[in-house]
């Protein structure tokens, strides 16, 4: 995903958040 690649260099935590959102958008709300 482009979003993950762009957020990867910014912060590892952000990448996890994006992955979780894409994998399970229900958990984030």
Q: Where are the domains of the chain?
A: 1-29
pTM summary value: 0.19
Asked whether the CA dihedral 13, 15, 18, 24 is positive or negative, the reply is: negative
In this predicted structure, what is the pLDDT of residue 20?
65
In this predicted structure, what is the pLDDT of residue 16?
65
Task: Tell me the pLDDT tens digit for each residue of 4-27.
Answer: 555 556 566 666 666 666 666 555
In this predicted structure, what is the pLDDT of residue 24?
61
Closest CA to 15 of 25, 27, 28, 6: 6
8 neighbors 1 (Cβ within 8 angstroms) = no
């Amino acid at each position: 995903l482009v979003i993950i690649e762009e957020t990867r260099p910014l912060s590892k935590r952000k990448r996890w958040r994006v992955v979780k959102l894409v994998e399970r958008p229900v958990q984030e709300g």
